[in-house]
Structures are given as C-alpha cells and as structure tokens.
C-alpha cells in the first residue's frame, strides 16, 4: 500500500503526477488555505506533507499527527516550521534552496529600480489621465548607477543581487553574520562592513537575511534613523526583519526617501498605513514567482518528499538526525 501524503496548497499538475507515482496523494487544488483544525484533520494517517510558507507547523499540530515523518516546505525560508519540535518527533524538514536565487535577485532589482525611479507613481499618473505635457522636474527620482548598494545578508540571494550591481557601476558593501571568504568578496567586488556603517553608507539598503528570533526587527527605529535621507530600503526576504511601524514613520516624515517591499509583518494583513504612502512600492510576496522558478520549487519539494519517505535522506534536509 502506498504511503499517504498531503499537498496543502495548489500546485502544478506534473508535480502531483510525480508524487502520485510514489504516494496516495491528497491535494488541495482549490487552494483554500487550511486553518489549524482542518490541517490537523487532513494530516491524520499522512506520512508526509508538502507545505507552503503560509502553513504553520508547530508542536501542537505535530502532537496530533503521529504518522507524520516529513514536512517539505515549498520555500527556502522555513520560519513557518518549528524545527526543534519536528526534530524532537523525528520529523524530517526540508526547504528549497538554490532554485529561486536568480528570480528573487531579479525581482529585488525590479523593486530597487521601481522605488528609486518612482515607477509606480508615474504609471498611476499616466493611467489616471493626468499627464498633460513634459516638465523638467517631473517625477524626479534617485539614480541607482554609481551609488552604494548595501546588502544585509550576503547568502546565495544576496550574492546574486551583488552580481547584478556590477552592471550599474555600483559600490557594493555588505553585512553578514559571518564575513565571507576573500575570494567571494573579490568575485562580487563587495566590502564587508559593520551594521552601523552599512546603514550610514548605503544609498540602497536591501535585506536578504533569513527571519528568526535573532533577526526580528533587526531594522527598527534606531537603525532606520542611521540611514541617509535620500536612501531607499528594499525587503524581499521576510516580514518581521523590518519593523513595519517604524518604517512607516520614517517614510511619512521623509527621513528616508522610499521603500520597495515584497514582504510584510502579518501577511497578508499588512499595516494599512503603507497604502496611503506614495514613496513605497508594495508587492504581494512574489519575488520568486516566475513560472519556471515556482515550478522548480514545487518539484524540488516533491523530490525531497519522495527521498524522505522512500530513502530517509532528503537532499535538502534541514534537521538531520540519527
């Protein structure tokens, strides 16, 4: 008899077909998000689950799902999963690193350019029929080329963002938990600096750190106050790394020039004050959302699930235990 697995959110049909070759699959193609109770019921008798970042997997849920052996997240981030609780119950957890790096870096650049050059404001102006002629000072924005890019979190995605900065003749500085090897710094022409220096020197500060208790509100009131008045802040990593209420205050008072945000605290119920600000570009957590990349993420999560339940050694195993 095939092991039973659950796919919590809509996915690509060929990913479901691949899973069906190994397991008895319960899918949620109507894509109705599951609350805790629905998820706990759906996971009864399931050995594996393919989760989205919207699914919270915690000790309480795990205690109600005694057959569960693998949680395979369709995301590189895994802050929706209590890893310790999974390890305590010998539940394997996997993520999808690598496949989304380039698409996320591309989208980060879309946010940088749209924010610095006021693309959304200008587009809305044209659509509203308000454009009645060329003016020298129309939608004056900030240049991106030849300026200083500050990268907070210089992992795989941060490095892809740095690589793209070369085309804009930028100076790249970064801050990371650990300083990178000199060879990697040379590859990206990136200089390591302390957090305070990063905040003070960056014309564009872009966040690519993982979210955890250690990075919660890492960019808050104090840090924002250290940024230049014409700087912009970009976050395509995770909500919660930036203190959204503090960011709204500095955007309102013009203490920084703007922000490009793909992620928020308490998604999708973002702080409504963002909506009335003109100097912010808002997108709905889609940085990795190209067709090829989202498909790659879903297929990698499925491959992790097959390797976890068939062989006990998934390639992207986050909590290896004996």
Q: Is residue 238 flagged as an active site residue?
A: yes
Spell out the residues 6+ positions from residue 28 whose beta carbon is closer than 8 angstroms to its own.
6, 7, 8, 9, 10, 34
Number of residues this chain uses to bind ligand DGY (CB under 6 A):
7
Spell out the residues 6+ positions from residue 230 whose beta carbon is closer than 8 angstroms to its own.
142, 203, 256, 257
**What is the total residue count of the chain?**
322
Residue 200 beta carbon to ligand DGY: minimum distance, rounded to whole angstroms: 28
Candidate residues 94, 288, 303, 304; the one interacting with ligand DGY per rule CB under 6 A:
288
Nearer to ligand DGY, 154 or 193 (CB): 154
Q: Is residue 208 flagged as an active site residue?
A: no
Nearer to ligand DGY, 147 or 285 (CB): 285
Candidate residues 53, 162, 219, 302; the one interacting with ligand DGY per rule CB under 6 A:
53
Residue 206 beta carbon to ligand DGY: minimum distance, rounded to whole angstroms: 15
Nearer to ligand DGY, 46 or 285 (CB): 285
Could you tell me the strand order of the sheet in which 258-261 lies? 190-192, 171-175, 148-152, 204-207, 232-235, 258-261, 280-282
Choice among 285, 294, 295, 313 that is catalytic: 285
Residue 143 beta carbon to ligand DGY: minimum distance, rounded to whole angstroms: 29
Does 141 bind ligand DGY (CB under 6 A)? Our answer is no
Instruction: Classify burial at 283, counting beta carbons within 10 Å of its beta carbon; exposed 0-12, middle 13-18, buried 19 or more.
Output: middle
Residue 11 beta carbon to ligand DGY: minimum distance, rounded to whole angstroms: 14
Site for ligand DGY in 63-92 (CB under 6 A): 75-77
Residue that the structure tokens 């946010």 belong to? 111
Q: Is residue 267 flagged as an active site residue?
A: yes
Residue that the structure tokens 């200089």 belong to? 191
Choice among 201, 238, 265, 294 that is catalytic: 238
Nearer to ligand DGY, 57 or 231 (CB): 57
Residue 124 beta carbon to ligand DGY: minimum distance, rounded to whole angstroms: 26
Residue 295 beta carbon to ligand DGY: minimum distance, rounded to whole angstroms: 13
Nearer to ligand DGY, 241 or 247 (CB): 241
Does 98 bind ligand DGY (CB under 6 A)? Our answer is no
Nearer to ligand DGY, 18 or 264 (CB): 264
Candidate residues 62, 100, 110, 172; the one interacting with ligand DGY per rule CB under 6 A:
100
Nearer to ligand DGY, 73 or 148 (CB): 73
| 8 A C-beta contact, residue 302 and residue 19 | yes
Choice among 156, 164, 267, 295 that is catalytic: 267
Q: Which residues of 229-262 are buried (b: 16+ CB within 10 A; e: fewer)?
A: eebbbbbbbbbbbbbbebbbebbeeeebbbbbbb
Residue 287 beta carbon to ligand DGY: minimum distance, rounded to whole angstroms: 6
Residue that the structure tokens 């009335």 belong to? 276
Closest CA to 53 of 70, 68, 75: 75
> What residues act catalytically?
238, 267, 285
Binding site for ligand DGY (CB under 6 A): 53, 75-77, 100, 285, 288
């Amino acid at each position: 008899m095939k092991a039973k697995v659950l796919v919590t959110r809509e996915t690509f049909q060929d990913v479901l077909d691949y899973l069906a070759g190994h397991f008895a699959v319960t899918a949620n193609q109507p894509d109705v998000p599951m609350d805790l109770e629905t998820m706990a019921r759906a996971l009864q008798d399931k050995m594996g689950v393919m989760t989205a970042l919207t699914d919270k997997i915690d000790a309480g849920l795990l205690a109600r799902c005694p057959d569960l052996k693998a949680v395979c997240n369709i995301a590189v981030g895994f802050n929706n999963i209590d890893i310790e609780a999974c390890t305590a119950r010998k539940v394997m957890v996997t993520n999808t690193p690598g496949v989304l790096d380039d698409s996320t870096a591309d989208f980060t650049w879309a946010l940088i350019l749209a924010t610095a050059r006021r693309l959304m404001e200008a587009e809305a102006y044209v659509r509203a029929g308000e454009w009645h002629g060329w003016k020298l000072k129309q939608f004056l924005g900030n240049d991106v080329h030849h300026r200083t890019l500050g990268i907070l979190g210089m992992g795989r995605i941060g490095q892809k963002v740095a690589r793209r900065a070369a085309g804009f003749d930028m100076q790249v500085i970064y801050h990371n938990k650990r300083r990178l090897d000199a060879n990697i710094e040379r590859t990206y022409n990136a200089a390591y600096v302390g957090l305070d220096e990063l905040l003070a020197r960056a014309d564009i500060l872009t966040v690519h750190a993982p979210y955890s208790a250690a990075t919660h509100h890492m960019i808050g009131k104090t840090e924002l106050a250290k940024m230049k008045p014409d700087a912009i802040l970009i976050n395509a990593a995770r909500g919660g790394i930036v203190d959204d209420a503090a960011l709204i205050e500095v955007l309102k008072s013009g203490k920084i020039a703007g922000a490009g945000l793909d992620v928020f605290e308490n998604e999708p119920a973002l702080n409504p004050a963002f909506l009335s600000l003109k100097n912010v570009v808002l997108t709905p957590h889609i940085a990795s959302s190209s067709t090829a990349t989202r498909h790659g993420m879903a297929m990698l999560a499925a491959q992790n699930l097959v390797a976890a339940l068939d062989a006990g050694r998934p390639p992207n195993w986050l909590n290896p235990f004996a």
